[in-house]
Amino acid sequence: MIAANSESPLTDRGRIQAKETAEKLKSENITKIICSNLSRAKETAEIIAKELGCKIHIWEDLHEVDAGRLEKTPIDPEKQYLQKMVEQHTGETLKEIEDRVKTILERLKNLPQTDGKILVIGHNTFTSIIFAVLNGVKKENFVTYRKYWKSIKNTSFRSVTLLKNPDSSDLKQDPDTLDTWFSSGLWSFSTLGWPHQTSDLETFHP
């Protein structure tokens, strides 16, 4: 059945996998865990947090993609449910999903600096869209990206570095920037004999 954004408890296998993940993360210096408000994500976070000794922060907008009337329907082995959502015009739109991802990424970028890493526990389809946005994929191509997305298994994780844009009020242009780039552009000419008309210059810079 398609669980999507509906509540479904963590299975016994899921609990074992969460403990296995915690063991793998002990050397990663995790200082904070962020998870969705769905029980399967929260329970996973609780198991890992207990092992790592860090706090959990719940972000409701980190929930799985809302599949609308496809929730709790049989899984179609031929199609990802995101594709069926688009075809049947149900659940969240691609624009709504994209906006939610961008909001979360901005929140992550603006978190207070920490000496450690932040673990985000989410859900497969929504996580695939997070990576799609990070990779510059347009929303019109989310379905294709999800189709070929190699799922993050329950016992694995991927590291991502998010950089916050600098405060422009403290920035000023280097007065030598133009000269630096201009001289760089002339470098290849000068090595070929410029300003004299040499055979090398005619061959490589006709």
| pLDDT at res. 91 | 93
Per-residue pLDDT for 178 more than 80? no
pTM of the model: 0.75
What is the rounded CA–CA span in Å between residue 203 and residue 206?
6
| pLDDT at res. 92 | 95
Q: What is the pLDDT of residues 138-159, one digit of tens each?
A: 999 999 999 888 766 666 777 8
| pLDDT at res. 88 | 93
Q: What value does the mean pLDDT take over residues 179-201?
A: 75
Q: What is the pLDDT of residues 83-142, one digit of tens each?
A: 999 999 999 999 999 999 999 999 998 888 778 899 999 898 999 999 999 999 999 999
What is the rounded CA–CA span in Å between residue 92 and residue 98?
10
What is the rounded CA–CA span in Å between residue 102 and residue 56?
22
Q: What value does the mean pLDDT take over residues 14-43?
A: 92
Residue 179's pLDDT band (boundaries 50, 70, 90)?
Answer: low
Q: What value does the mean pLDDT take over residues 16-33?
A: 91
| pLDDT at res. 56 | 95
Q: Over the chain, what is the mean pLDDT? A: 86
- Taking 3-state DSSP, the helix, strand and coil percentages for the chain, each rounded to the nearest 5, stand at 50, 5, 45
Q: What value does the mean pLDDT take over residues 14-34?
A: 91
Backbone angles phi, psi at 170, to 5 degrees: -100, 5
Q: What is the pLDDT of residues 66-86, one digit of tens each?
A: 998 988 888 888 788 899 999
Label residue 183 exposed, middle or buried (CB < 10 Å: 0-12, 13-18, 19+). exposed
Q: Helix (H, G, I), strand (E, B), or coil: what is residue 33?
A: strand
Q: Where are the beta strands (DSSP E) in the chain?
A: 30-35, 55-58, 117-121
Measure CA 186 to chain center.
40
Residues 6+ apart with CB under 8 A from 34: 56, 57, 58, 59, 62, 108, 118, 119, 120, 121
DSSP letter (8 states) at residue 60: G
Nearest in space to 5 (alpha carbons), one of 44, 62, 63: 63
Q: What value does the mean pLDDT take over residues 7-16?
A: 88
